[in-house]
Amino acid sequence: MTERYLYDLSEGDASMKPLLGGKGAGVAEMLRIGIPVPDAFTVTTTACVAAMNNDGQWPDGLWDDILAALDRLEQRTGRRLGDAERPLLVSVRSGAVQSMPGMMDTILNLGISDTSVVALGAESGNPRFAWDAYRRFIQMYGEVVETVPAHVYEDALAALKSDRGVQQDTDLTEQDLQQLVQTYLTLSREHMGEELPTDPKEQLRRSIDAVFRSWLNPRADVYRRANNISADLGTAVNVMQMVFGNRGDTSATGVCFTRNPATGAKELYGEFLVNAQGEDVVAGIRTPRPLAEMEQVLPAAYRQLLETMTKLEQHYGDMQDIEFTVEDETLYLLQTRNGKRTASASLKVARDLVAEGVIDEREALRRIEPAQLDQLLHPAIDPQHGKTPLTKGLNASPGAAVGTVVFDAVTAERRGKAGDPVVLVRWETTPDDIAGVIAAQGVLTAHGGMTSHAAVVARGMGKPCVAGASAIKIDALAKTLTIGDTVLGEGDSITLDGSTGEVFAGALDLVPPQVNEDFQAIVGWADKIRRMDVRANADNGEDAAKAREFGAQGIGLCRTEHMFMDETRLPAVRKMILADDEAAREAALAEILPMQQADFEAIFDAMSGLPVTIRLLDPPLHEFLPNLVDQALLVQRLELQNGDAAELAEAKALLGRINALTEQNPMLGTRGVRLALMFPEIAVMQVRAIARAALAVKGRGGDPHVEIMVPLVAFAQELQRMRELITETMAQELAAAGGAELPFTVGTMIELPRAAVVADQIAEFADFFSFGTNDLTQTGIGISRDDAEGAFLAAYVDADIVPANPFSSIDVDGVGGLVALGTERGRSVKPDLKVGVCGEHGGDPASINLFEKIGLSYVSCSPYRVPIARFAAAVAVLNQQDQQA
Ligand code: PEP
Ligand code: MG
């Protein structure tokens, strides 16, 4: 059977989204549950894909299928495209599986022509409206399908208004509009080099083709990359009967959300315009009115709209974003979809829907994007700032942004990518600005409402945005921004508060965000579902306490080197490294031991009752010494000065030691377990400090759970020796403490490919494994963690050679494969082996999903990511269940 590329509206439903796109399936589903929608048919995403894969050539028979579907639509509506008596007008819209702002703009009023315009005017009793529809159609069609520059039509419209001495489009008369149609046709011919086609069927064919082509356009591509949407999905094309919101004062058009998408509150949220088409609301040309005012203007349609909102929410179990039109007091829903919302709204809506009994907790968890939780962990402006805002716009997307002003997306992208914090300031953003929005800290617009492009895009990305700040004057050429008496130029600092809409000159201080009750409740649900434990990476008592507050179930990685880097400790550490003999080294270590012990005590205190994994010293020793070049220059200077001989001798000795310790590839050099085996007295000192700290904490009623971890193990024999050394030292300490009891375990990091491959051998000597996915990414892929991100990696991501930066989100097949292999081999020897991960990936939702699949016991991440990890671990369980179902 040949593939089917066409579906009438009544044949679709919500489950057909991959085929009909979000819009097509959405409208079909609405019809199915009895909601008033205009009639339509949909060209499938598979037709788009087939055309894309064949140099834009449509599949055989597609056009005939479309003509047949059109014929059926004409029969159902009792109208014909371009008819002189009962004309059918249609809209043509792209509709990808996921909503995509970068796609082709909608074509409205297709089917209007020199013949049908008269009929439309007669039917509606409003010829002016018909001519307005006609000129709008030529403008949209010419611009979007035939790529006539937008300004060509805009200029002609502006010239005509100026000629007539009027301000508003609505002040133009029917005759003015007739004239404008002729002007538009002439201008179109000039720019196209041929007549604009007047046959509506030909216009339809070209419009559908333009939708297909727009799937591959650069701005859609930018959006897809930013949102990880595959280019292979294609877009559907929806051809729908037009209903008119601009048929006079009994007609209207609007957009609304079933709840407030900024806060999640269950309240009216939307805008409408009487006597207007849908594009007028989103384009921000006329300022829309708050939805509540519709009750007075169109009471029956308003009541029906409220009922429909409830029905849609109940049906979809989620907050909806709705487009509607009222034609002569009859309500039509044009579109509904799950509304984009801020993270805090997302949590509130989910929690409220569960409380209202619409969905259960598991379903609520599926609805929340783990990455969205990040937004709630966004900084806000320090409330103590005491500054007066320059102006206030709409609080379009929450969070605070500080950066320097830039006026165009290209500069924003360039400077943002170079690491400069910038704030993109625009009159209004368009889909062409997307790359700039992505690279900016925040967005400020002078125009447009809560549903404007800037607001919608920023909310989706979790970027602070202040929209519609009408008091600001932008001079894009001079690159200045004027608010009252204040003039800011490109490069001047600005601060936005997307939560209040306030705009400040200068860079204000930011404070870390608060985690609210909704957040706690939802992460609490996640805790009931997740299987993996979530621990934190923390190196001091304060971070450990913070981590525990965030719900960490222990410490998965305590990096002891951080304790040595401290200024007060470095002298003793250097003394230890520079010691000529063991005795001198022992003396220096004796100085360090009490410091280490104090650190461990603070951590054991904060984590009483929970496991604490302490890793023995990992970095190469040269990291604790001055830089080689600096020291060489110092020696040179002292020699020239001819000063204190002792000072010179000391500097030379240090230089010699630095030289001796310097390695070509320190990351592959004397570090980790190799260091411990070369200088066992360092490890002995650390184990003693651990034992003494644990005994001290125990002595004061605490409950330390000690886990000692050996880094960078490649050979089983390395761990075997370290295990002996640790066990022996512990035994000595406990004996010295009068035969005290202190259970402890010894484990290893798996962060080298060899370790993963021989994990069965290593497991013989390990009580637990912890995957160091930072080093495992470095050594597994063979890319330097210190250099690659600033070098070729960004280009690799851009060119789709790798799907994401593998140091942030795990390389599933490669490094993830090593994690799976190591886990499997380790557990082949010890089936109950506890296996965790403590690299950066432990806090990344996509990586956590993989770790759940592999069956790890826990993930460990930075304290601030602990709540996200708890959540992501639960979602990972649900994903697994979905896959098995
Ligand atoms: C790792 O390599 O993943 C790890 C956690 O250790 P570090 O980042 O300290 O090398
Ligand atoms: Mg490591």
65 φ/ψ sector (left φ>0, alpha ψ -120 to 50, else beta): alpha
Query: In this structure, which residue's CA is closest to atom 9 in ligand 1?
Result: 559
Q: Does residue 705 register a pLDDT over 90?
A: yes
562 in active site: no
Cβ-Cβ contacts under 8 Å for 236 (sequence gap 6 or more): 19, 20, 21, 23, 24, 42, 43, 44, 45, 48, 94, 95, 96
> Does an H or E element contain 394, and which?
strand 394-397
217: tokens are 């356009």
Q: Which of 203-212, 640-649, 719-728, 807-816 has the lowest mean pLDDT?
A: 640-649
278: tokens are 């849908």
pLDDT category at 171 given cuts 50, 70, 90 is confident
In terms of Cα–Cα distance, which of 248, 251, 287, 260 is closest to 271? Answer: 287
Report the alpha-carbon distance of residue 444 to residue 442 in Å, rounded.
Answer: 7
Q: Does residue 445 register a pLDDT over 60?
A: yes
Let me know if domain 530-620+663-884 sits in CATH 3.20.20.60: yes
Class of domain 69-241: mainly alpha
Tell me which amino acid residue 835 is: V
Residue tagged active-site, from 447, 453, 705, 841:
453
Q: Write down the pLDDT at residue 380.
A: 80
Within 13 Å of residue 739, how many CA atoms lie on the same side as its CB? 0
User: Over the stretch 820-848, which tens digit does the pLDDT of each residue have?
Assistant: 999 999 999 999 999 999 998 998 899 99
Is the distance from the beta carbon of residue 838 to the nearest atom of ligand 1 less than 6 Å?
Answer: yes
Is the distance from the beta carbon of residue 805 to the nearest atom of ligand 1 less than 6 Å?
Answer: no
Question: Ligand 2 centroid to 825 CA: how many Å?
Answer: 20
Query: In this structure, which residue's CA is closest to atom 4 in ligand 1?
Result: 772
Angle between helices 127-144 and 116-124 (to 10 degrees): 140
Question: Ligand 1 centroid to 575 CA: how many Å?
Answer: 26
- Closest ligand 1 atom, residue 778 Cα: 2
Report the alpha-carbon distance of residue 709 to residue 558 in Å, rounded.
Answer: 9
- Closest ligand 1 atom, residue 775 Cα: 2
453 in active site: yes
Burial of 831 (0-12, 13-18, 19+ CB in 10 A): exposed
Ligand nearest to the CA of 562: 1
Is the distance from the beta carbon of residue 557 to the nearest atom of ligand 1 less than 6 Å?
Answer: yes
Burial of 418 (0-12, 13-18, 19+ CB in 10 A): exposed
3-state DSSP call for residue 124?
helix
Cβ-Cβ contacts under 8 Å for 766 (sequence gap 6 or more): 719, 746, 747, 748, 826, 830, 833
Kindly calculate the radius of gyration of the chain based on its CA atoms and give it in whole angstroms: 33
Contact present, 572 and 591 (Cβ < 8 Å) = yes
Domain at 252-338: CATH code: 3.30.470.20
Question: Ligand 2 centroid to 680 CA: how many Å?
Answer: 20
Q: Write down the pLDDT at residue 1.
A: 47
Contact present, 80 and 88 (Cβ < 8 Å) = yes
Is the distance from the beta carbon of residue 772 to the nearest atom of ligand 1 less than 6 Å?
Answer: yes
Q: Write down the pLDDT at residue 64.
A: 96
Is the distance from the beta carbon of residue 727 to the nearest atom of ligand 1 less than 6 Å?
Answer: no
Is the distance from the beta carbon of residue 618 to the nearest atom of ligand 1 less than 6 Å?
Answer: yes
User: Over the stretch 404-432, which tens digit does the pLDDT of each residue have?
Assistant: 999 999 999 999 888 899 999 998 887 67
Is the distance from the beta carbon of residue 539 to the nearest atom of ligand 1 less than 6 Å?
Answer: no
Is the distance from the beta carbon of residue 839 to the nearest atom of ligand 1 less than 6 Å?
Answer: yes
Q: Write down the pLDDT at residue 281.
A: 64
Domain limits of the chain? 69-241, 252-338, 378-511, 530-620+663-884, 627-662
3-state DSSP call for residue 667?
helix
| CA dihedral sign of residues 216, 217, 218, 221 | negative
Could you name the CATH architecture of 378-511?
Answer: 3-Layer(bba) Sandwich (3.50)
Report angle CA 92, 100, 91 to the nearest 5 degrees.
10
Question: Ligand 2 centroid to 775 CA: how many Å?
Answer: 5
Ligand nearest to the CA of 838: 1
Question: Ligand 1 centroid to 456 CA: how many Å?
Answer: 38
Question: Ligand 1 centroid to 776 CA: how many Å?
Answer: 8
Q: Does residue 629 register a pLDDT over 70?
A: yes
Report the alpha-carbon distance of residue 769 to residue 746 in Å, rounded.
Answer: 9
On the question of a common fold for 378-511 and 530-620+663-884, the answer reads no
Report angle CA 644, 650, 653 to the nearest 5 degrees.
140
Could you tell me how far CA 212 lies from the centroid of its own chain? 27
Mean pLDDT of the chain: 91
Report the alpha-carbon distance of residue 453 to residue 219 in Å, rounded.
Answer: 14
Identify which of 558, 559, 623 to mutate to test ligand 1's pocket (most ligand atoms within 8 A of the CB). Answer: 559
